[in-house]
Amino acid sequence: MIGDRYSVQKFGLTIFENEASDVPVDWRLDDLVFARVRAATGDDPTVRRITYPKDVFEPFYNPKTILIRDPGERLPTIVRSFTANANCDRYLVATTFKAELPNTHMTLNGIGTYNQGLGSLLRHSHLFANIAITLIDGRSYEEIKRPFVNFGANFAAGMRLTEDPLNKLDNSLFPDPPAAASTNAALRERTRALIVDRLDRSLPGYLKED
């Protein structure tokens, strides 16, 4: 449940110069998630994709309250609502989330791109993919915790001395106006490559046998 909205954000010197747009895209990103799950399991035929009702995840992405979620807004409850006859041992759910850009108070929403800086010569652009993986037990519908999933790979990535080239984006590819993102083929392929990297780094730890 990650793939039909793309965040285009621009950050200025003050909060009043910040701009954010949520652009609809048809980049088949949910298909990409399933393809990476199949690849991580060696194309295991018992792994299957489950369709879900339109807007069923709306309570999760737009909860009524921020601090304490209503039980009906939690992923296990939502997944239970449309998998009564699925009979799966586990359900793996991919969602997006909001995250703060390190060393700033700027929030990056889901999957997208941002442009930051002062003046045309000092501005720089980047991609981001905030993707969360949740594993749910198919019988109890309790979340299966993986607290140290792929710790080594993520630690190594965090200790990188140079910027991850997958995140860096040439200013010429930053969509202006934001709506241009939906038809920007280069931006789509760069974003897909970043998502593949993030998924391939995290999925093995969630798919391992207990």
Q: In the prediction, which pLDDT does 210 show?
A: 61
Q: In the prediction, which pLDDT does 3 show?
A: 82
Residue pair 77/63 in contact by the 8 Å Cβ criterion: no
Report the candidate in 20, 19, 24 with the shortest Cα–Cα distance to residue 3: 24
Helix (H) or strand (E) holding 5: strand 5-11
Q: 53 preceded by cis ω (within 30°)?
A: no
Query: Which CA distances in Å does 143 have to 134, 138, 188?
Result: 7, 10, 32
Residue-level pLDDT, tens digit, the chain, 210 residues = 998 999 999 987 767 678 999 999 999 999 999 999 999 999 999 999 999 998 999 999 999 887 788 888 999 999 999 998 999 999 999 999 999 887 777 899 999 999 988 766 578 999 999 999 999 999 999 999 887 665 555 555 554 555 788 999 999 999 999 999 999 999 999 999 999 999 999 998 888 766
DSSP state of 120: H
Q: In the prediction, which pLDDT does 56 show?
A: 95
- Please state, in angstroms and rounded to a whole number, the distance separating the CA atoms of residues 6 and 26: 10
Residue 107 Cα to chain centre, angstroms: 14
Residues 73-86 as b or e (16 or more Cβ within 10 Å = b): bbbbebbeeebeee
- Please state, in angstroms and rounded to a whole number, the distance separating the CA atoms of residues 181 and 191: 11
Extract the tokens encoding 2: 């990650």
Report the candidate in 197, 88, 103, 194 with the shortest Cα–Cα distance to residue 150: 197
Q: Could you give phi then psi for residue 168, rounded to 5 degrees?
A: -70, 135
Show the CA angle centred on residue 160, arms to residues 109 and 118, nearest 5°: 50
Q: In the prediction, which pLDDT does 194 show?
A: 96
The 3-state DSSP composition of the chain as helix, strand, coil percent (nearest 5) reads 35, 25, 40
Q: In the prediction, which pLDDT does 39 show?
A: 95
Domain definitions of the chain by residue range: 5-207
Extract the tokens encoding 149: 């999933």
